[in-house]
Amino acid sequence: MTLAEGIAVLGLELPAGAEGKLLAYLALLAKWNKVYNLTAIRDPGEMVTHHLLDSLAVLPVLARAAQDSALAGRPYRLADIGSGAGLPGLVLAIARPDWSITSVESVEKKAAFQQQARIELNLTNVSIYSGRVEDMVGDFDGVLARAFASLSDFVCLAGHLSRRLWAMKGAYPADEVAALPAGWKMVACHDLDVPGLQAARCLLELER
């Protein structure tokens, strides 16, 4: 499936030039991956599905949550924790240039790739934090993680940054939800349908 086809299936309307930037990001990732091993996925088609479309699938849900920020006259402030090669943070930054994205990655080579991508793609709405999330100081409208850790660990490590956390998961993790620390609850489970991906995906919305 092509990126354009996937975007159409998701029903997204991206800004002018966004699709080209997403493909440029993917080309840069493939180039760096030859040396730095940033992702195990190397097939271009699979990279579109597993990286770009998987990241974009959360956009409609996050956009609804961001409406409160838009009414306040400021950008939606989102932190992407354990972002690796910038997924989904840099993808979301390309799709929503009106948002303020902080990408958090403690592995130096991955953070360095993100810095290069930010410069080459002129992503002025992105900042890269190269360090441990528990050492961060900030106040965000939401904190997002994709395949980062268990829900309990996610809450303990990143819960000081926002009252709303978003966890991208595969199949619904009932055991992890049951083990959430006191003071935190799951308020919604949003099923995600990633075009071309034959696997379960969901986005859990957590609040304290």
Each residue's pLDDT tens digit, 125-146: 999 999 999 999 999 999 999 9
Query: What's the average pLDDT block by block, 10 residues per block, for the chain (208 residues)?
Result: 96 97 96 90 92 98 91 93 96 98 96 97 98 95 94 97 98 97 97 95 97
Please name the residues in contact with 164: beta carbons below 8 A apart, sequence gap of 6 or more. 65, 141, 142, 143, 205, 206, 207
180 C-beta neighbours (distance < 10 Å), count: 18
Q: What is the C-alpha separation between 51 and 30, in angstroms, rounded?
A: 12
Q: What is the C-alpha separation between 57 and 61, in angstroms, rounded?
A: 8
| pTM for the whole structure | 0.96
- What pLDDT is attached to residue 105? 96
Domain 3-207 carries which CATH code?
A: 3.40.50.150
Domain locations along the chain: 3-207
